[in-house]
Every structure is written in C-alpha cells, then in structure tokens.
Structure 1
Amino acid sequence: MITKRMLGRLAIAMATAGLMSAAAAETTIAYITNGNTNEGWTLINGGAKKAGQKAGVKFIELAAEKGELSKQLAIVEDMITRKVNAIAIAPVDSAGIAPAINKALAAGIKVVAVDTGISGAKITSYVATDNIKAAMVQGDWTAEQVKDGDTVIYITGDLGQSTGQERKKGFLDGLNAKRKNVKVVEVSTTWDQTMAQNGVETAMRANPGVKVIACAWDGGALGAKAALMAAGKKAGDVKIAGFDGSPGGLDMMKQGWQSANAAQMLAKIGQVGVETAIAAAEGKKVDARIDTGSFLVLPSNVDQFAKDSGVAQFMKVK
C-alpha cells in the first residue's frame, strides 16, 4: 500500500532528479576577450553578453589583463579544468594561444575564435569580419584619392595577430590594384593610439606632402587626428580612412576629420561568436568560417549606418 509519506518522498526524489537533470543540461560558455577596452571592443563584448543571456546557458566572461598572452593562456587552462562546454575567444596572439587551444580541443571543448583568428589549431569556427575584403575596399577608396607619386601613410595594427596581418594585406592589395606608383609609409603599432600619433608625427615630418592616412582601426585614426592637429592641420587637409565603424571613428567623420571608414558590424561579431559557441556546444553543426559583414561608410551615409548598426547611441556628435 502506497502511503502519503511514500508519495511525498517520491515527489521530493523526482524534484531532486529534475533539478540535477537541469543542472547537467546547462551549457557553460566561456567568453575570453583580449583585454582591449576601446569603443569597438565595448560593442563586441556587449554583443557577446547579449548572446550569453540565452536560457539554459551559463555565461562566463573573462579578459586577459593588460592584454597579456600569459594571462590569457592561464584563463584557458582554468576553463579546461572547469570543463566548460565551449570557449569563444578573441586571442591576444594568434599563434601564441594555440597550445592552450589545442589542449582545450583535445579535452572535447568547442572553440570559436572571435574577431581574430588562431593559427596552429584546428578550431571549431572563426567568426569575424572578412578583414582582407573590407581592407581591400579601404585600399580601393584610397587609390581614388591619390595620383602616381603621392604619399600615403598606413597605420598598422598588431602584426602578431591575424587581424593586423589581414588588414594590411587587404589595404595594400586594394591600393596597388588601382595605383601602383604610390609611396606607402608604414607606421607600426600594436593597436596603440599613442603609438599611432607618435608614428604619424614622425612620418609627416619626413613626408610633409602626405595625401591620405589609412588606419587599421579607428583608434589609429584618432591618433592620426591628434598628430594632424599638433602639426596645425585642419579637418580635411589630409584625408583619413578609418577601419571599424566605431563611435569615435564616426564622430570624426561627422566633424570632417575622417573621409571614409571600412566599418564592421561590431556588436554582431560578439553576438554571433557566442551564438556559434553555444550551437557547437549543443552538438549542432556550425560553419568553419562566418563573415559578419562590412560596409564602406562615407559622409553621405554615416547617419544611416550609425542608426542601423546601433553605434548611434554611443556617438557624441549627432
């Protein structure tokens, strides 16, 4: 005979089993960013957080302090120990992060590279702008602004990362396809705005007739603007081509300092990156390469792009 006490115990047991099952079914995603705190990364990280709010997902967000590879390696090792289901990561160093990523993959953890690729590891997916394609448009635009014999300054990103490498290659390919006889003066940086400013100041002293300054990211464009202002230049005296479509970059365009921007869909990069990690962790098939798109922003369409991309809410110049 089944008593009320027995039924009560059965109900408790079933409830406990249900809770244990729900806990076991929870998908844990680690989003490991690179420590950058500029406007572009604020948008990317915001998109990642939005995706991480999905029901049934435990979202862990971590950052490499001061953008140090050693810190990011330690974070990945910790996530392996904690047996997360998937890692979405914006690597500090494309090659340097590979040993830890290979260890994660061997442990059965799905790995999605966000914004920046990983070399030396067969990752689950790579979610980012097609940097070569977007930078080729930037280079093509630059070619239309100059003549044979003119000088162009190109501010690089970190060439230890695939993002910096691809943007430089795309820019030069786009420029040279239309205008081969142009002097390109390279200013090397590691995504550092102060390095960009100092490098442009030096380059302009040696090349006072520069026509265009093209930048691998909008922080570089802000550095270029500061260098031009220090040299007594006014908005439009030297054309600046940015890359990112960040709030600061588009503010520059509204002010007349930036003439073109190879804009990314910044929030979409983070959102799709984490969504892809969740899907892979749940056993769904995901594409090995996902292009989140890009758009050439000019003064004629800057307002519409800012509105459509969600960047407008962060802009200072309306």
Structure 2
Amino acid sequence: MKMTRRYLMGAAAAVALASSAQAQDKGTVYYMVPTLLDEFQTTSVDAIESFFKDVGYEVVTLNADNKTDVQQSQMADTILLKPAAIVLAAVDFNALTPSIEEARAAGIPVMQFDRQITSTVSDLTSVAGTIEIGHVAADEIKRLLTEKKGAVSGKILQVLGDPGDPYTLDIQKGFEEMMDGTDVEIITHPAMQWEASNAGSIVADELLATPDIDLIFVHAAHLAVAAVASLEAAGKQPGDVMLVSSNGAPVGLDLIRQGWEQVEVEQPLFAQAAALAMFADKVVNGEEIAPGTYDVLGLESVVTIEDWGPNIKIPGAAITAGNVDDSRFWGNLQAPSDPISPVE
C-alpha cells in the first residue's frame, strides 16, 4: 500500500485525521517533526514512514515549523486521538517535557528521535553516537595521514560547530581522545552558531597563519562547503589539503565526488529511524527492552537503560569515494528498500 505523507498543524487537522488511526492492524504512529527546512528533517520523514510501514504501522507527520507552541499544541491534539505511539523530535527539549508526561499518563508511549531528552522518562530514545562519530573520524584521519605522510603526523585544523552544542563537543571529545599520543598538532576553533561564513573565515585565517596544514576536520558538511571556498580562494586544488567532515549531508557527498573531501562520517539517520521501528511493537505493547548490542542496518548499536528510559546509540559510518553512492547513506536521499523486522 502506498502511504500518503501529511504535514499537518493544529486541532482541526488532527481531528480530520482521526479516522486514519485504524488504517493498519497495529494502528497509527504520529511523528512530530520540528521543521522541514533542511534535508535531514525531510529525509527523516521518508525514513520513519517507510520503516514503520515495514512493521505494520501507519505514520502521520505533523510539522511544527520550528515553533515550540505549535508542537505543544500538536502533542495535546494527538493525545486526544489515542494513537499507538508518538515519535518526537523536539523543537525545545525542556518545553516539551510536560507534553511527554501527559502523553505517557494517558497511556500513549513516546519515542524520541535524534534529540535526546533526559529531563523525563520516555519509552525509547534513538540517537547518534556522537563520541563514536569522533572515533570513526579519528580512525579515518589516521589512515589518510599515514597514506600521505607514511605516519600519523602533521597538522590538523579542527573546526567545531557552536561550542554550546553537545553534538559538536562530543565529536571533539571522541576525536581528540583517539588522536591522543600521536605525533599530530590539532588546532581547534569554533564556528559560532554553526555559521558557514564563520567556518570559512577560520579556514582562510589559519591557512595564512599555518600554511602547512595537512588536513581540515569540520563537524558538519555545510561547514565543509565554506572550507572549500576558502581553499579555492587560497589557490588550492582538490587534495592539496585533505578534508574530513561529519553528518553525511548531500553537500558533503558531492564534495567527495568532486575530490575536495576524502571522508564524510555519517550521522546515521536511517539507522536511527529503523531502530525505533524495530522496537515499536515492544514499546506499544509495554514490553521490556533488553539492554545489549543490536544490529541496526549493519551498524553495531547499543541499548542501555538510563534514568530517562531505554536508549539506543548508533555509531556513524565512514563515507569515501569508494562507497559514496551507496543508498544506505541518507545523503543520497533514498531510504533503504530492504524491509526491517521487529525485535523479538
């Protein structure tokens, strides 16, 4: 059955969809997407709809347009419909806590996608292993330096995102702990507010101050675009200064194809969505989720039981010129076609 995507807002829209709640045997899951203004979020809708369909649920998507009050209203309206479950990617972590508690008090399980909320209990949280992304990046950078210089040595410019964001701080932590003990100098600067223009300025300035930089590691693909612009302005050609990025966005994959970027460490969007669907039956039926290691789309993922409930953390994968066209990477904007199965 072909599913129809719906991006709806407000009480009237929610009531209009009430009749869809029994469209499949297992019922309807409502996905609260924070915004549709970037490719990660729009692709998450495709992935969640596809994977939940595999395990027998219809998905209705409600777009909050990045407005906290809209998402709070959507949660309240959805609670009245008594869906099988809610998947939430919160606009505001703290502001949505009461809504989560109200849903669960009404007997509706709540699963968190990508944005971890630790201030209250949820029924399952699926997040990227950001420290592990740093580990993967370090392993790839060690390989690149060894291939170029014969040893893990040289100078690396690391461009963080905003220093107030735990996402970039965790990547930095994982990267630097894996690079500890090597003969590498790491020069680190933050791109405030994750602004690409700030990253471009950092790269331009550092190329003047440190002209023998071997590799640039940026924490998001859109920052890599700005880094390439600065490299071009300095007269560099693809490969003169190696470039590694993280998150796996389409622009990063394009830079690999163009030769500017050697590795993109993916934020595992598809696996994060698949994990929620794999455990959906257990969540909906109130069954225990056992801690341990699970294979999620080929990625070794770990479930732990935290104060905020079961939490599955999924590592990123390294994207290179050799595998850049693989459909399993979300940056190619094509959800995997192989169906998934529920966890028994």
Paired amino acid for 1:139: A
Aligned with residue 170 of structure 2, among 156, 166, 171: 166
Aligned with residue 302 of structure 1, among 317, 320, 323: 323
**Is the Cα contact below 8 Å between 1:89 and 1:114 reproduced in 2?**
yes
Q: Against the structure 1 CA distance between its residues 22 and 259, is the aligned structure 2 distance closer, same or farther, given a 3 Å change threshold?
A: closer
Paired amino acid for 2:266: A
Q: Secondary structure at the residue paired with 2:99?
A: helix
Deviations 1:86-107 (A, max 9, x none): 2212233444543432333333
Paired amino acid for 2:167: T
Q: Against the structure 1 CA distance between its residues 309 and 91, is the aligned structure 2 distance closer, same or farther, given a 3 Å change threshold?
A: same
Taking the aligned partners of 1:22 and 1:54, their CA distance within structure 2 comes to 16
Q: Give the CA deviation at 1:122.
A: 1.8
What is the match of residue 153 of structure 1? 158
Q: Give the CA deviation at 1:256.
A: 0.8
Q: Against the structure 1 CA distance between its residues 312 and 24, is the aligned structure 2 distance closer, same or farther, given a 3 Å change threshold?
A: closer
Q: Against the structure 1 CA distance between its residues 23 and 211, is the aligned structure 2 distance closer, same or farther, given a 3 Å change threshold?
A: closer
- Number of equivalences: 290
What is the match of residue 118 of structure 1? 117
Taking the aligned partners of 1:179 and 1:113, their CA distance within structure 2 comes to 40
Q: Against the structure 1 CA distance between its residues 22 and 112, is the aligned structure 2 distance closer, same or farther, given a 3 Å change threshold?
A: closer
**Is the Cα contact below 8 Å between 2:162 and 2:191 reproduced in 1?**
no
Q: Secondary structure at the residue paired with 2:45?
A: helix
Whose radius of gyration is greater, 1 or 2? 1
Taking the aligned partners of 1:106 and 1:179, their CA distance within structure 2 comes to 55
Q: Against the structure 1 CA distance between its residues 307 and 84, is the aligned structure 2 distance closer, same or farther, given a 3 Å change threshold?
A: closer
**Is the Cα contact below 8 Å between 2:88 and 2:110 reproduced in 1?**
yes
Paired amino acid for 2:172: K
**Is the Cα contact below 8 Å between 1:143 and 1:178 reproduced in 2?**
no
Q: Against the structure 1 CA distance between its residues 55 and 273, is the aligned structure 2 distance closer, same or farther, given a 3 Å change threshold?
A: closer
What is the match of residue 221 of structure 1? 224
**Is the Cα contact below 8 Å between 1:127 and 1:291 reproduced in 2?**
yes
What is the match of residue 62 of structure 1? 62
Taking the aligned partners of 1:72 and 1:227, their CA distance within structure 2 comes to 39
Aligned with residue 274 of structure 2, among 271, 291, 296: 271
Paired amino acid for 1:234: Q
Identify which of structures 1 and 2 has the higher relative contact order when contacts are C-alpha pairs closer than 8 Å and 6+ apart.
1
Deviations 1:115-139 (A, max 9, x none): 2311212221121332211222213
Taking the aligned partners of 1:207 and 1:63, their CA distance within structure 2 comes to 45
**Is the Cα contact below 8 Å between 2:135 and 2:174 reproduced in 1?**
yes
Judge which range, 108-117 or 221-230, deviates more.
221-230
What is the match of residue 48 of structure 2? 48
Which runs of 5 or more residues in structure 1 are unaligned?
1-18
Deviations 1:204-254 (A, max 9, x none): 566555433222232222232233334443222322212133333222112
What is the match of residue 80 of structure 1? 79
Q: Against the structure 1 CA distance between its residues 294 and 230, is the aligned structure 2 distance closer, same or farther, given a 3 Å change threshold?
A: same
Deviations 1:234-286 (A, max 9, x none): 22232221213333322211211111122244323223324434541233433
Taking the aligned partners of 2:104 and 2:197, their CA distance within structure 1 comes to 37
Q: Which has the higher strand share?
A: 2
Taking the aligned partners of 1:207 and 1:100, their CA distance within structure 2 comes to 50
Which runs of 5 or more residues in structure 2 are unaligned?
1-18, 291-309, 335-344
What is the match of residue 241 of structure 1? 244
Taking the aligned partners of 2:181 and 2:94, their CA distance within structure 1 comes to 30
Q: Against the structure 1 CA distance between its residues 297 and 75, is the aligned structure 2 distance closer, same or farther, given a 3 Å change threshold?
A: same
Paired amino acid for 1:298: T
**Is the Cα contact below 8 Å between 2:43 and 2:333 reproduced in 1?**
no
Q: How is 1:26-45 mapped onto 2 (pairs within 5 angstroms)?
A: 27-35=27-35, 37-45=37-45
Q: Give TM-score scaled by structure 1 length.
A: 0.74
Q: Against the structure 1 CA distance between its residues 179 and 25, is the aligned structure 2 distance closer, same or farther, given a 3 Å change threshold?
A: same
Paired amino acid for 1:156: G
Q: Against the structure 1 CA distance between its residues 216 and 28, is the aligned structure 2 distance closer, same or farther, given a 3 Å change threshold?
A: same
**Is the Cα contact below 8 Å between 1:26 and 1:57 reproduced in 2?**
yes
What is the match of residue 257 of structure 2? 254
Q: Secondary structure at the residue paired with 2:193?
A: coil
Taking the aligned partners of 1:200 and 1:210, their CA distance within structure 2 comes to 10
**Is the Cα contact below 8 Å between 2:86 and 2:108 reproduced in 1?**
yes
Q: Secondary structure at the residue paired with 2:158?
A: strand
Deviations 1:122-177 (A, max 9, x none): 221121332211222213433563977835132326844x5344323322323335
What is the match of residue 12 of structure 1? none
Q: Secondary structure at the residue paired with 1:100?
A: helix
Paired amino acid for 2:226: G
> Percent same amino acid at aligned positions?
22
What is the match of residue 136 of structure 1? 135
Q: Secondary structure at the residue paired with 1:76?
A: helix
Q: Give the CA deviation at 1:61.
A: 0.5
Q: Give TM-score scaled by structure 2 length.
A: 0.69
